[in-house]
Amino acid sequence: MMSALSAGPSGLPRLLVGLDQLDHSSARDGAGVPMTLAEHERVHGPLPRPAPLQLVEAVQRSGLRGRGGADFPTAVKLRSLVEGVGGGTIVVNGSETEPASAKDRLLLSRLPHLVLDGAVLAARAVGAREVIVKVSDDALASLRALESAISVRSGDGPTIQLTGGPTGYVTGEETAVIHHLDGGPPAPMFVPPRPFERGYRGRPTLVQNPETLAQVALVARYGERWYRELGTSADPGSALVTISGAVAAPGVYELAFGTPMTDLLEAAGGSTEPLQALLIGGYFGTWVDSSRAMRLRLAREDLRSVGCSLGSGVLIALGESACGLHESARVIEYLAAQSSGQCGPCVHGLRAIADGVGALASGSAGERERERVLRWAAEVRGRGACHHPDGASRFVESALAVFGAEIESHRAGTCHSASAGLPLPTPGLPRPSGAVGLAVAPRAGRRRRR
């Protein structure tokens, strides 16, 4: 157990604690003002200095897993660098390329010091001399908040650099981030070696999502026992979930693992119409029909039982008035266009799949199109240098499982559903920062909407 720990926030919010105290009157870009270093230290106290292994062990006992989508145990990555040659780099992967996610932008634009604390703690633990924070060029509020936060932090510790990068779904993949930082195009590289073996400038590099690092900062201050006070034994702690779609108050909410799906929707103001399905895990995620989805909790074992995972913490509610087939065709069209063009099965396979789903949605598909799409989806899986085809094929398979019965009505031309407008970036335009509202979760025991 970690020594000399402070008492952490009880209940929720944890990561987002103190955010509701900030002055919202000078909000910019719909993102609100960032917490200053003084405010941050008033909420959480000064940065602790655990011994390297002490931090790794506390993170291991906390059960913390990465929040960038791969769900990988954070302590395993930390330990591999601690036991390595040292002198590497910490990369804060703030790309947040998932169009329906807003949690990383929320953390970086409002609570930059919490994320930087996690990065500095990780750097000290693994003997890294530098931290690089990478965000997308269009995340203007995050860039401003980070620039100002970095400028006021003491020089005692690793150097901290901030860098922007091009947008695009696969630019957030960790090897694409490294490639870009090394001066190459922001496209994934073939692995191994993985970044923790040979990353930025050929040195061992720890790439972590901002939420993961913010959680590390809390574990370092308050300890693993506190961390486990929320959540389940298999999934301890809390998570940021971006909830959008047919809900009254779309936004980013901090919720405890183990929370029933019905309560997640309630946190976002409740559904605005009867729901037909939930998309869990974002555009690499899985459609689940609403009757099954409502029986789930925010817990890995529940999500796994219906073939999905929380991914980067995205939940989209699809109302009955919308057409799931049409929305899925839009999303797979977007994903196909995001391929970095390096692997044949990804380039040609996703294109064929997108055309097939588009034809199913427009009603122009032949009788065997569904089977062809499913065959292609199975064929592209595992055949790319990165997981882009895997995520895209999972999404399409779930779409055809949940909305497959509607193919006939599309062929007959009788689908007149309204567009649900699942969020997708417009090429050439910055991502609208206000598209997904930023909201703080209710405190434990009291529900509050913003």
Ligand X SMILES: Cc1cc2nc3c(=O)[nH]c(=O)nc-3n(C[C@H](O)[C@H](O)[C@H](O)COP(=O)(O)O)c2cc1C
Return the number of the residue (323 or 343) whose C-beta is nearest ligand SF4: 343
What is the DSSP code (8-state) at residue 66?
-
Return the number of the residue (208 or 238) whose C-beta is nearest ligand X: 208
Q: Does 285 interact with ligand SF4 (rule: CB under 6 A)?
A: no
Question: E strand or H helix at 277, and its extent?
Answer: strand 275-280
In the complex, the smallest distance separating the C-beta of residue 392 from ligand SF4, rounded to whole angstroms, is 9
- Which residue in this structure is represented by tokens 């034994």? 233
In the complex, the smallest distance separating the C-beta of residue 191 from ligand SF4, rounded to whole angstroms, is 10
In the complex, the smallest distance separating the C-beta of residue 393 from ligand SF4, rounded to whole angstroms, is 11
What is the DSSP code (8-state) at residue 8?
P
Q: Are 392 and 348 in contact (CB under 8 A)?
A: no
Residue from 141, 343, 400, 439 touching ligand SF4 (CB under 6 A): that is: 343
Q: Which does residue 89 touch among ligand X, ligand SF4, none (CB within 5 to 8 A, set by kind)?
A: none
Return the number of the residue (16 or 177) whose C-beta is nearest ligand X: 177
Q: Are 248 and 272 in contact (CB under 8 A)?
A: yes
Residue from 18, 63, 88, 188 touching ligand SF4 (CB under 6 A): that is: 188
Q: Are 85 and 167 in contact (CB under 8 A)?
A: no
Residue from 389, 391, 425, 442 touching ligand SF4 (CB under 6 A): that is: 389
- Strand duo 205-208 + 89-94: pairing: parallel
Beta-sheet strands, E only, within 95-185: 130-136, 159-165
Query: Which positions from 359 through 398 interact with ligand X, judged by CB under 6 A?
Result: 386-388
Q: Does 72 interact with ligand X (rule: CB under 6 A)?
A: yes
In the complex, the smallest distance separating the C-beta of residue 104 from ligand X, rounded to whole angstroms, is 7
- Which residue in this structure is represented by tokens 């913003």? 450
Can you tell me the distance from the alpha carbon of 432 to that of 444, in angstroms, rounded to the nearest whole number? 31
- Strand duo 159-165 + 130-136: pairing: parallel
Torsion angle defined by CA atoms of residues 448, 440, 423 and 269, in that order, rounded to the nearest 10 degrees: -10
Q: Residues touching ligand X: how many (CB under 6 A)?
A: 22
In the complex, the smallest distance separating the C-beta of residue 401 from ligand X, rounded to whole angstroms, is 22
**Nearest-CB residue to ligand SF4?**
384
Q: Are 313 and 211 in contact (CB under 8 A)?
A: yes
Q: List interacting residues with ligand X (CB under 6 A).
A: 66-70, 72, 93, 95-97, 169-170, 172-174, 207-209, 212, 386-388
Q: List interacting residues with ligand SF4 (CB under 6 A).
A: 170, 187-188, 339-343, 346-347, 384-386, 388-389
